[in-house]
Structure 1
C-alpha cells in the first residue's frame, strides 16, 4: 500500500456532483503518534452529515489521516500507522480488513486463495462459433430475448469486481470509461489503469455475461445493448475490503447506474456480525453505502457464495473458524436488505453442489462440475470473456449473479426510471419456478419462494416482452 503524502491543508475534490471530500493528509501527526509502522486503511463511521472539518479534527487527534469522507452516509476512509487506532476511535466505529489480514485473531484462518479457486478459469475456448456452447444463455432464454430487445445504451450496469478488459472484442463497445473508476483504496480513481484488470480475469468474465457481444466469435451476453462501468474493488492480492465496497456503491449512486453486480463477499471473513466489535463498523459502513445507492435508484445484485452453507442460519465462518456467528450475521453485500441475492444452478437446472442457499431471492446458471453437459453443449461452467481477448469457463455463484444482473438491466431498459423495488419485483415475479426436489432435503419453502432457488430461475425472454 502506498503511503499518503502530507499536505498543509485539506483538498476538496468535486466528483460526480461534489460528494467526495478528499484530504490526502492532515497537519503533521502529534508526537505521540506512530510515524514508522505500516499504515492500514480503516472504515470509520460518523453521524451522516457530520462536517468534514470535524472528521479531520478527530482523525488527526487520534493518529489518523483522512483518505476520503462520504458525508451523506457518514463514512470516512482513514489511514493510520497506530496499532491502537481502532481503540482510539472506538471498536464499534472503526475497522481495517487489511490489518486483520496482517494480524489475524485466529491462527486457524483459511487461506483466501483456497476458497476462491473454484472461480478460476478452467479452460480457454478454441476459436469458432461459441453460441452452441452457451447453454447458460439458453437456460434463461437469452438468445430469444436478444432477437426482441438487447437493452438500452441509457442503462449502465456497474461491475464491482477486479476490473474489465475494455479492449476485449466482446466488451469494447460496452465499457464506458467515463463511468469507470478504481475503488481499491476506498477513494475513486478515474485513471484507466485504476479500473483495468491486473491479477484477475474475474471481472472481465462477469462483464461478458452481462453485456458482451462478439459476432465474429458467436458470443453474446444477456443484455448486449446496455453500457458497462468497470468499478474495481478487488486488490492485486484478491481481497475486497469494506472501504472498496463502500466506494463502489457510492460511485454507482452518484453516477446514475441502474444496476450493479457484486460477485464477491467482503473480506477478510465470510460473515460480518452487526453486534461484534470491528465487524459492526464494517457492517454499518457497507449497509449505509448500499442503502444510499438504492435510494439513488440503483438495483444491487450479488452472489450468494460458494460454500454450500445455509446463510439464513450460519453456524460457522469457513474463513475465520474461531469467529462466532449467529443469525444476525450476514455475507456482505449479498445479505443486506435491498440486495438481490443469487444462488447457482448447473446444466441440469438444480442447485450447484457448491452454492450457498437460505435467504436467496432468485437463481441463475453458475455451472457445476457434477452436472455434466452432453457433447457439443459446452463446458460444465459458463463460458464468457477472459483477458487477452479470449473466452474461458468459470463456475461459481459469481457466474450466476451477472445473469440476474443482465436480466435486471433488460428490465431497467424497458422501464426507464423505474424504482429498484419495481425492477426487483419484476425480476422475481417473472422468474421460472424451480421446485425443491424430493432428494433436496435441505431445500425448504414453497415452489415460488424456497431456500434453494428463491423465486426461481431468471428469465430474459419474459423481461423483454
Structure 2
C-alpha cells in the first residue's frame, strides 16, 4: 500500500476514540448520596479537571460533584471530562486522585517551587519595538521559509480557521482586524467557554497577538505580512492574568477547536504549573489524561495541533527531573500538549539557520524561525528576534522563543489546509515534514540524519512548497 493511500485511508473513528478514552477506576452508575460532613464554604475555591466515562449523562456528574463538595463549571461528555470548583482541601481525595487534579491548588501550595517558571518564559518577553519605517526588510524569518513567494501564489483560504490558544488577540490591531473571526473566538480561562469579546481579548500580555501576526497578519501601510494572511484567526484565550495555562483551560480550547471547524491550532505554551506531567503519578495522571482526551478528540475531528518545543535548551527525551516543579521524570512523563500523539512539535532556529540557544530538542517534528539573541542579521534586516504584532497601540515588536517558531509552522499548515481542503491532520503532518528543507546536525549533541534529527526534526518548513 502506498504512503499516500495509507494516510488517506478510512479510520474506524468510533472504536479508536472509545478505546483510547478509558477511565482509571470505576465511576458509579447511580447518583452518590449527599456528603456526610458539611462542605467548606469559606476557603479559597480551586478549579479541577475530573475524569468520567465518556458519554456519562450530566445528571450523574452533577450529583457526584455535589455529594463530594464540588460544583460543575463545565462538562464535556464527548471526552468524559468535567471542570469543577471546590473549596474543600480534600476534594481530589474525595473524588480520587487518579480522577481529579487542580493546577491552581498546586500553584498556591508550591509557590516557591514553581517560581522558576517565569525565568523559562522570560526569554519570550518583547525585546524591542519597531519604529515607523517600512517593516518588510526586517522580516528575515519570512524570507527564510519563502513566505513572500508563497503569498504571491496563495495567501490562504478564508475557509481555513487557525485557533490561537494563547493570551488573546488584539483584534483592533491594523494587521489583524480583518483576520480575527469574533464568532469563532472564545475565552477558556475558567475551563468553560465564554464568547463575550472581553473574555478572549488580551489583558496584560501581547504574546498571543505576536503569535497571531506571524500566522496571518497583513498591514500594507507598514509593509508587514504574515505567512497566511488570507486565513481566519480565532482567539482562544487559555492564559490567565497570572500567566498560567491550567489543564482545564487547555481542555476547553481543544474541544472548542474540534467543535467549531478549526483546521489548525497553535499552542505556544506548556501546561502549568510544572513542565512535565507524568501519566502514572497521582494527580498528574488525571491532568495528563484530560488533556490527552481533548487533543485526541480534536485530532479525530480534523484539527492539526502545532506546539512549541520549549525554551529550556535541553533534550526532552533525556530529562530526569522537572526544572519547575521538582519531581522525577521518566518515560511516562511529557510536556503537554506536545507529548500527545499527533501534535506537531516545533524547535527554533535563528537567523543563521542553526538551533536557537534556548530551544528544546529531541522528539521534534520540524523547525522554524524563532530567533536568537546571538544570531544577529546584517544591518537593515531586523533584529535577532522575530518581528510581529504587539498590543502596544497597534505597533510591532520582536520576540525570541519556540513560541515564535511554532506559529510559523501553524501558518504553513494553514497554507497546506487551504491547498488541500480535505486533507486529514495526519496527511497535513506528512506534507509539512515531507516538504521541509533538511537541516543537518552541526554539533555532536545533535543526533540523526538531515531528514530526521534531534535538533531540527524533518527540517525547516517551506511555505512556497506548501502552495505549489
The TM-score normalised by the length of structure 1 is: 0.92
Aligned: 1:103 with 2:109: yes
Residues in 2 aligned to 1:193 and 1:111: alpha-carbon distance in whole angstroms: 30
* TM-superposed deviation, 1:31: 5.3
Partner of 1:62: 68
Partner of 1:384: 388
Partner of 1:32: 38
Instruction: Pick which of 214-223 and 324-333 moved more.
Output: 324-333
2:427 to 422, 427, 441: 422
1:187 to 189, 192, 209: 192
Residues in 2 aligned to 1:154 and 1:108: alpha-carbon distance in whole angstroms: 45
Residues in 1 aligned to 2:319 and 2:368: alpha-carbon distance in whole angstroms: 23
1:360 to 361, 364, 381: 364
Aligned: 1:47 with 2:50: no
Partner of 2:457: 454
* TM-superposed deviation, 1:109: 3.4
SS of aligned partner of 1:119: coil
SS of aligned partner of 2:258: helix
1:196 to 201, 206, 209: 201
* TM-superposed deviation, 1:313: 2.2
- Cα 1:227–1:29, aligned 2, differ >3 Å: closer, same or farther? farther
Residues in 1 aligned to 2:430 and 2:296: alpha-carbon distance in whole angstroms: 17
* TM-superposed deviation, 1:318: 1.1
Q: Kindly report which structure 2 residues correspond to 1:274-313, keeping only aligned pairs within 5 A, or say none.
A: 274-313=279-318
Aligned 8 A contact 2:377 2:383 in 1: yes
Q: Kindly report which structure 2 residues correspond to 1:406-445, keeping only aligned pairs within 5 A, or say none.
A: 406-437=411-442, 440-445=443-448
- Cα 1:436–1:90, aligned 2, differ >3 Å: closer, same or farther? same
Structure 1 residue ranges, 4+ long, deviating more than 3 angstroms after superposition:
26-31, 106-111
- Cα 1:160–1:327, aligned 2, differ >3 Å: closer, same or farther? same
Q: Kindly report which structure 2 residues correspond to 1:28-427, keeping only aligned pairs within 5 A, or say none.
A: 32-104=38-110, 107-321=112-326, 323-387=327-391, 388-427=393-432
SS of aligned partner of 2:318: coil
Q: For residues 246-275 of structure 1, what are the alpha-carbon distances to aligned partners after superposition, in whole Å with 9 as ceiling and x for unaligned?
A: 000000000000000000000000000000
* TM-superposed deviation, 1:415: 0.6
Q: For residues 155-213 of structure 1, what are the alpha-carbon distances to aligned partners after superposition, in whole Å with 9 as ceiling and x for unaligned?
A: 00000000000010000000000000000000000000000000100000000000000
* TM-superposed deviation, 1:307: 0.2
Partner of 2:5: none
Q: For residues 348-373 of structure 1, what are the alpha-carbon distances to aligned partners after superposition, in whole Å with 9 as ceiling and x for unaligned?
A: 00000000000000000000011111
Residues in 1 aligned to 2:34 and 2:144: alpha-carbon distance in whole angstroms: 60
Partner of 1:19: none
Residues in 1 aligned to 2:314 and 2:52: alpha-carbon distance in whole angstroms: 33
SS of aligned partner of 2:123: helix
Aligned 8 A contact 2:52 2:82 in 1: yes
Q: For residues 212-261 of structure 1, what are the alpha-carbon distances to aligned partners after superposition, in whole Å with 9 as ceiling and x for unaligned?
A: 00000000000000000000000000000000000000000000000000
* TM-superposed deviation, 1:328: 1.9
- Cα 1:263–1:27, aligned 2, differ >3 Å: closer, same or farther? farther
Aligned pair count reads 436
SS of aligned partner of 1:154: coil
Instruction: Pick which of 31-40 and 82-91 moved more.
Output: 31-40
Residues in 1 aligned to 2:182 and 2:35: alpha-carbon distance in whole angstroms: 37
* TM-superposed deviation, 1:27: 12
The TM-score normalised by the length of structure 2 is: 0.92
* Unaligned segments of structure 2, at least 5 residues: 1-31
* TM-superposed deviation, 1:110: 3.4
Residues in 1 aligned to 2:112 and 2:148: alpha-carbon distance in whole angstroms: 49
SS of aligned partner of 1:146: helix
SS of aligned partner of 2:297: helix
Residues in 1 aligned to 2:268 and 2:170: alpha-carbon distance in whole angstroms: 17
* Unaligned segments of structure 1, at least 5 residues: 1-25
Partner of 1:463: 466
Residues in 2 aligned to 1:154 and 1:312: alpha-carbon distance in whole angstroms: 37
Instruction: Pick which of 43-52 and 295-304 moved more.
Output: 43-52
Aligned 8 A contact 2:388 2:397 in 1: yes
Residues in 2 aligned to 1:39 and 1:175: alpha-carbon distance in whole angstroms: 34
SS of aligned partner of 2:114: coil
SS of aligned partner of 1:178: helix
Aligned 8 A contact 1:110 1:318 in 2: no
Residues in 2 aligned to 1:62 and 1:324: alpha-carbon distance in whole angstroms: 31
SS of aligned partner of 1:72: coil
Aligned 8 A contact 1:174 1:224 in 2: yes
